[in-house]
Structure 1
């Protein structure tokens, strides 16, 4: 009798649930049951997983593309704004015979600084900011002739410093500067206004009663675009002929990330004893700008990814709940055979978590592929956060776990008798 009682007691006393030791389910068996539940309806499981795939994939794509685009945006303005440093030299006191703070040869000291790619010095004055310049020496009676242009002096490295190119002829060199040659280079807009398109015939420009041979035209100016409407002279020529000798500005181009360091060192290199008298115009810190742009873009697209993820979670919850309603008979049978409420809840939680995990793995993989593909098409450098790619499957599993809480509780609260009586 005792042997018979032991064999039938668990099945008979399951409905009461008091004083009876519940059979334990090994985690491996629980995982097998959950996997069987997922694979029992493959089409539905695939469609349910697709919701999580879209959510996780959208999250990875939006954050990845946003980070890549942010770096690209920063990289675009880096090329000019974030690598340009300007040192402003104050004018000397009136009627002063002191040595200028910055001389033309002092620019070479800046070029030797680490991170400097090119540099040039400029000299301008208010008297030569608006000069009547003619392309011939014939003065029309009864009025002025020619164009109002600015006349400046610059070192021979100016084309590289302003990121321009000589479109016709050549730029003056150190030999022209040493000889004090009466030559000039026109900005492309100035040449167009004066009707100078070729320099092979050595055209001349006239102003202040002097003539200068045009040897080149400077175009494509990206920095200091006002030079496109200027007449540019060698420093010695401007000093001897026009009295223009004081350096007003020093243009410095740096490599990416070196602007702040060069901005601190340039005044000391130009005027070691009077560095504080110079004013440096430098771009803002590159790292702060990058973080600001990337943060704004990431915040905008992250919302879209989270919304997609919520949609996927609702899909898992809905399908899991429908599955519970369809498996009422199975739940009742498991409860009658001794399964506890906790075991029933754990099974359905594990099923929803499995679906979320699979969706997270597939979504993360597809998201990474899309980010790399978009970057390849746009010729960008892909920027991917490894923590996001690795953590996406975990996020998918957590989403599946949370989505399955209510359906699993609903399943665990079913009484064996009522479940078995329910229509299949």
Structure 2
């Protein structure tokens, strides 16, 4: 039988019962569509991890400096921050000096002690680089932050975290109010708010590094906070210790975010695996529908099969005809299901304001998958039709 005649007969068989064929095709459409939708939506959602990933965590590198033994000099100098800022991918960096002795210090907004009234608060005192607001993604809500001039002159100035200012009752720094840290006065020149990194700074008194060393004994850098560009954290984490303490970089402890590409691939693999199972289940349901309808069609066309056999059609011709019909139904369902799946993925991405991500091989291979499903579903009915003897088929009621 010529292949063109075979497909013409198969198409005629499919169109002879259009409603049944449409309902059978619908099963494949739903199966292939579900497969494309689930994998496409899962891939699209997984690719949003880089954009939706916590940018604060993904761009934070922290270098912890261990205290030196005895009276030895610290491993990291305050000027080392400038070397880190020159690294590619670094937006800002700042050094901090903290200690357990200054973690809970009595701070008062005035030096007058009124009987029966609480005039002070227990706050932390830290020394910091002038670049601290940029490194911790904070904003100076009042006044200004101290600068290099304040550091060089060793000015007795302080910047309060917004929570510390509220606790001390300081809501305006235009008149240069003072705070007394263990009896030592410091002029408040600004308030730092909206701190997203090192959030403990919100309830701290922040001093210039030279002033902190002179007045509070905070002369050694305890950690360095680095704000990086997206995707540069891993590289900066490798280079920052070398820039801060050449030759002693192994003594520093670096905290860096995980590799985003690995996280994305891991989540994408998990979600794809889950949704792939759901898509395959739907596809199997569609295949069962095709097999069932094709078998019913064979039983309804027993007389036609007997006539064809009597006119000289071989078993192979009969089997090929029914296989072609089931394959055509599967192919049509695959084309419609793939188109529906791609459309749904695009609509979902548009509604969620995502960038749709879909593997072209999936969209193009879905119709082929539908044809294969139809082919496999039609194997048993076609073999059953091919095994019919012409005499028995003609005697059977049609």
TM-score category (smaller protein)? over 0.9
Q: What is the distance in 1 between the residues matched to 2:149 and 2:202? A: 24
Aligned: 1:416 with 2:385 = no
- Aligned partner of 2:179 in structure 1 is 205
Q: Match of 2:34?
A: 58
Query: Where do 1:40-59 residues align within 5 Å?
Result: 40-59=16-35
Q: Please show how residues 383-422 of structure 1 align to structure 2 within 5 Å.
A: 383-422=357-396
In the alignment, the residues of structure 2 paired with residue 198 and residue 372 of structure 1 have an alpha-carbon distance, to the nearest angstrom, of: 52
- Name whichever of 238-247 and 127-136 sits farther off: 238-247
Partner of 2:162: 188
- CA distance, structure 1, for counterparts of residue 331 and residue 246 of structure 2: 64
- CA distance in 1 between counterparts of 2:143 and 2:343 reads 50
For 1:382 and 1:47, locate their aligned partners in 2 and report how far apart those are by CA, in whole Å: 30
Q: 1:174-207: CA deviations, max 9, x gaps?
A: 3333333322222222222222233333332211
CA RMSD of aligned residues (A): 1.9
Per the normalisation by structure 2, the TM-score is: 0.94
Deviation at 1:65, TM superposition (A): 1.3
Q: Which secondary structure does the structure 2 equivalent of 1:103 belong to? A: coil
- Cα deviation, 1:369-409, whole Å, max 9, x if unaligned, reads 21122112112222222222222112111111111111111
1:102 aligns with 2:76: yes
Contact 1:74–1:293, Cα closer than 8 Å, also in 2: no
Q: CA deviation at 1:142?
A: 6.1
Q: Report what 1:309 is aligned to.
A: 283
How big is each residue's C-alpha offset from its partner over 1:100-143, in whole Å with a ceiling of 9 and x where there is no partner?
32111211111121222221111111111101111222223368
Please list the CA deviations of residues 336-389 of structure 1 after superposition, one character each: whole Å capped at 9, or x if unmatched. Answer: 111111111111111111111121122122212211221121122222222222
1:237-260: CA deviation from partner (whole Å, max 9, x where unpaired)? 212322312111111122233222
**Does residue 1:350 correspond to 2:324, yes or no?**
yes
Match of 2:47 among 68, 71, 75: 71
1:163 corresponds to 2:121: no
Alpha carbons of structure 1 residues 372 and 164: separation in structure 2 relative to 1, 3 Å: farther
Partner Cα separation in structure 1 for residue 112 and residue 53 of structure 2? 46
Structure 2: 5+ residue runs without aligned partners?
none
Aligned to 2:148: 174
Task: Specify which of 121, 124, 129 is matched with residue 150 of structure 1.
Answer: 124
Give 1:336's aligned residue. Answer: 310
Structure 2 residue aligned with 1:5? none
Computing the radius of gyration from Cα coordinates, the structure with the larger value is 1
The answer to whether the Cα contact below 8 Å between 1:136 and 1:206 also exists between their aligned partners in 2 is yes
1:83-102 to structure 2, matched below 5 A, reads 83-96=59-72, 98=73, 100-102=74-76
Distance in 2 of aligned mates of 1:374 and 1:168: 44
The reply to whether residue 290 of structure 1 matches residue 260 of structure 2 is: no
8 A contact 2:306–2:389 mirrored in 1: yes
> 1:12 corresponds to which residue?
none
- Kept in 2, the 8 Å contact 1:161–1:253? The answer is yes
Could you report, residue by residue, the CA deviation over 1:126-185 in whole angstroms, capped at 9, with x for unpaired residues?
A: 111101111222223368631111111111222221222233333223333333332222
* Counterpart residue number, 1:34: 10
Match of 1:218 among 156, 180, 192: 192
Unaligned runs of 5+ in 1: 1-24
Question: Taking structure 1 as reference, are residues 168 and 317 closer, same or farther at Cα in structure 2, changes over 3 Å only?
Answer: farther
Residues 8-33 of structure 1 deviation map (CA, whole Å, 9 limit, x = unaligned) = xxxxxxxxxxxxxxxxx011111111
Match of 1:363 in 2: 337
Mapped pair 1:123 → 2:90? no
Tell me, what secondary structure is at the counterpart of 1:226? helix
Query: Would you say the 8 A contact 1:188–1:218 is kept in 2?
Result: yes
